[in-house]
Amino acid sequence: MCGIFGYVGEKRDAAEAVREGLKRLDYRGYDSWGVCVAKEGEIFLQKQVGIIGTDRPNLPETTIGIGHTRWATHGKVNEVNAHPHYATDRSFVLAQNGIAENADAIKIQLEKNGYTFVSETDTEVIVRLIEKKLKKAKSLEEAVRLAFKDLTGRNTIIILTADGSVIAARNGSPLVLGMDKKGGEIYFSSDVFSFAPHVEKVLVLENGEMAVCRDGAVQVSIIATNKKIKPIFEINKLRDVSTSKEPYAHYMMKEILEAPMVIRQVVAEEDKKILELARAIKKARAVYCIGSGTAGAAAAQTAYYLRLYASVRAEALVGAEATEYKNLIGKGDLLIAPSQSGETADVLEVLEHAKARKASIASFVNMPGSMMTRLSDYKFMANAGPEICVMSTKIFVSQIAWGYLVAKAVQGKLAEGKKNLRALARAVETYLADEKALGDIKKLAAVLAKKEHLFLLGKGQNLQIMKEAMVKIIEGSYIHAHAIPAGDLKHYAITLMQDGVAVMTAVSEDSVKADVLNAVHQVKARGAEVFGIGSESSSHFSSHLRVPDTGETSAIMNIIPFQLLAYAMATSLGHNVDKPRNIAKSVTVK
């Protein structure tokens, strides 16, 4: 996770430019932050625990600086562990996004060599390792290259030197460069959105590449071989993309309301491209849909749609739990990966392995220039605009709408799929404009926010939807929620059903409706209160939130009230809706 940012320019005050960039990256981590600037051969540093604010850092005015917003992996959240970290002689500072997996072993060795450490981070181990390499290396770049060869894990770093240059090296976590029209202003960042309004051109650094900005010129080279490569900057298409949440109080609300737009973006995808993927799915030896967290639920929903509509034996994998599949995945297999960032470390690890074993990859990513897109044979973009709230809402809608459409294409009914999604977009729009519906959700949220435990029953097309609803409730309200397959209830969780227990369920007008209602009966008979969501009410519901029946896309419709409910619960509890405690959006570490 973590966000890294750098600015080398002529016009802007570096401390403020870096602060502004980090503010836009704080969805990646907000434990603590640090900004450094270089002036007259000296590096000035400010670090602080907490999320970066709107005040200019208290640093000298100059035009070169770097910064970091942290999601701690190694060492407590405190000022000492916050990045950037100084070299012993203060000739450079370094910030890292990732984990140096062999840091402990390297540290023992470095300590034997007399190096000392002030922080508990793996980052400082990288700093000292570079210092050690510097003793024999001809330049700092060479020392960085040598140090990188010794490191394991995914590590992307940025360095600011006292004499005014910036060095960035990528291995794993993302790194992009931006440049204004004349090339006088250079930006480094973990994502394009953070500097998009300021630059004309962008360059996505590939894994294993290093960029050095010295005296206003950018040089790119391959870390392993030191071979220079011509930096090719592309036109920045995101320049005018808004990153404001106005007029809403939170990004989460703004992004939930963008659901109709993201569904329409899915519909706008070229038929030719979808049909090409549909052919690959039909031909594949095995199809695996893979994701983590919310994208994991989207991957599972995609697998469900492929089984249901296209009779494809598609299997869902959770990014971090796919180890045993590594021996199975190989030539002829196809992996389908929906991802907001396209940088999720545990998913990337499986995809890289699959690629090396000649499997094909299809991805559906929102962030431009990601690793996942680069690895893919079939590249799809969500084009949903930035999703800034850490809790994913519109992107989940977009991912499952895409999964549905792909399944319809394999079924040979792409046009019908697009028609159904268009109708869904209209239905979601009408629903989101319905003041009464929104008021009912708020009332229910006030009741549920007082509970200690919530149970969610799901089946068929709504199983993953209830899982995702569980994720949203846990993330936003910190209340324990538990999604249960409705049919499995009587095998274990029924023991927990008693007076006052709150159960939620989404019911669609489909072939498993009767089974879900059976489960509802069973919990109600034991005293539980059931809150139902669907187009029809049931006499067994204590309360019912009505949503329109959208047929095959009903499950996609059903997640919307749960997202609104999670929002209303989190706000009623006074939580930081856009940045729930402990989690970050782009999980670029394992």
* Residue 112 exposure: Cα atoms within 13 Å on the Cβ side: 6
Which CB atom, from 298 or from 347, has the smaller least distance to ligand GLU? 347
Nearest residue to 292 (alpha-carbon basis) of 319, 316, 266, 314:
319
Residue number, 82 or 568, with CB nearest to ligand GLU: 82
Catalytic residue of the set 2, 213, 289, 389: 2
| The pair of three-digit structure tokens given for residue 270, joined into one six-digit string | 């070229």
**Residue 156 DSSP symbol:** E
Classify residue 573 by burial, with Cβ atoms within 10 Å: 0-12, 13-18, 19+: middle
Active site residue 585: yes
Strand locations in 253-374, DSSP E? 287-291, 314-318, 334-339, 360-365
Phi, psi (degrees; rounded to nearest 5) at 430? -65, -45
Site residues, ligand GLU (CB under 6 A): 1-2, 29, 70-75, 96-99, 121-123, 589
Q: How far apart are CA 365 and CA 382, in angstroms?
A: 6
Q: How far is the CB of 479 from ligand GLU (least distance, A)?
A: 26
Least distance to ligand GLU, CB of residue 81, Å: 6
Residue number of the CB atom closest to ligand GLU = 2
Give 158 or 259: the residue with its C-beta nearer to ligand GLU.
Answer: 158
Identity of the residue, 80 or 432, whose beta carbon is nearer to ligand GLU in the bound complex: 80
Taking the complex as a whole, the smallest distance from the CB of residue 85 to ligand GLU amounts, in Å, to 9
Does the annotation count 2 as an active-site position?
Answer: yes
Q: Please write down the HEC assignment for all residues of 43-79.
A: EEEEEEECCCCCCCCCCCCCCEEEEEEECCCCCCCCC
Smallest separation (angstroms) from ligand GLU to the CB of 129: 14
Kindly list the distances between the CA atom of residue 91 and the CA atoms of 42, 134, 211, 341, in Å, as whole numbers in the listed order. 8, 12, 19, 34
Least distance to ligand GLU, CB of residue 587, Å: 9
Nearer to ligand GLU, 35 or 199 (CB): 35
C-alpha to C-alpha distance for 277 and 475, rounded to whole angstroms: 33
CA–CA dist 492, 514 (Å, integer): 20
With beta carbons less than 8 A apart as the criterion, state whether 175 and 190 touch. yes
Rounded to whole angstroms, the Cα distance separating 475 from 579 reads 9
Contact 542, 529 (CB under 8 A): yes
Cβ nearer to ligand GLU, comparing 69 with 558: 69
The active-site residue, picked from 230, 450, 585, 590, is 585
User: Least separation, in Å, of the C-beta of 343 and ligand GLU?
Assistant: 11
Q: Which is nearer to ligand GLU, 80 or 280 (CB)?
A: 80
Residue 135: Cβ within 10 Å count: 8
What sign does the dihedral 21-24-27-30 (CA atoms) show?
Answer: positive
Q: At what angle do helices 294-310 and 394-411 cross, to 10 degrees?
A: 20
Minimal distance, residue 160 CB to ligand GLU, in Å = 17
Taking the complex as a whole, the smallest distance from the CB of residue 322 to ligand GLU amounts, in Å, to: 21
Residue 397 DSSP code: H
CB distance 281 to 287 below 8 Å:
yes
Report the residue number, 60 or 153, with the smaller CB distance to ligand GLU: 153
CA distance 427 to 485: 27
Q: State the catalytic residues.
A: 2, 585
